[in-house]
Amino acid sequence: MTRIIAGAARGRRLAVPSTGTRPTSDRVREALFSALESEWGAQGVQWPDVTVLDLFAGSGALGLEALSRGARRAHLVERSRPAARALSANVSAVGCPGAEVVIRDATQLAAQPAPEPAARLVFADPPYDWPANDLVRLLDDLRAAGWIAPDAVVVVERPARDPLSPFPPGWPEPRRRPYGDTVLWYGRVASDDEDAEEGD
């Protein structure tokens, strides 16, 4: 059973597509959001300051959890129409404003005009057989196209057996946190100042 953990929609159940998705466990989601809130609390960042981009959204558990906690907007990207139907039902069930379901392949998203403001928080939970290099290319393309804000936090879920970083070269050193067979990679987009230093 997948539920919203905290916030305005705490306890609401989420429908999970019968095939083609791998919901992030409650334990891992709780650890993820605890880490985010600890980091942002030290920086004075509040949830209403945050726009979310949830790639490979599936049931939408990550993006909807962020909305429940007060995020201003969440773009929930899912290419599978059956999964998108479950996702849309979950958006209605959770009842938090600011959710936008985008039925599109994540690899084609950079070709669309980027919304304003760009995402300050990005979740990427692709199938475990996705090569890390494909994720590197995807994140690089989305950042270049304006979907991901400078200095955004990017959280990627990967299988523990894959040691390769999913982040583009030049981004600050990511953190890797294992949870059994799952690993969460926490990365931060290089700020404009860091990019300028890199160019020098």
Radius of gyration of the chain (CA): 16
* Interval 5-34 mean pLDDT: 88
**Residue 147 in this model has a pLDDT that exceeds 80:** yes
Half-sphere exposure (CA, 13 Å, Cβ side) for 71? 29
Percentage of the residues of the chain whose pLDDT score is greater than 70: 94
Q: Where are the alpha helices (DSSP H) in the chain?
A: 26-43, 61-68, 81-94, 132-144, 192-199
Percentage of the residues of the chain whose pLDDT score is greater than 90: 82
At residue 199, the pLDDT reads 47
At residue 18, the pLDDT reads 72
Domains annotated for the chain, with CATH where assigned, are 2-199 (3.40.50.150)
At residue 19, the pLDDT reads 65
pLDDT digits (tens, 9 = 90+) for 39-90: 998 889 999 999 999 999 999 999 999 999 999 999 999 999 989 999 999 9
What whole-number distance in Å separates Cα of residue 156 and Cα of residue 158?
Answer: 6
Average model confidence (pLDDT) for the chain?
Answer: 91
At residue 196, the pLDDT reads 43
pLDDT digits (tens, 9 = 90+) for 110-142: 999 999 999 999 999 999 899 999 999 999 999
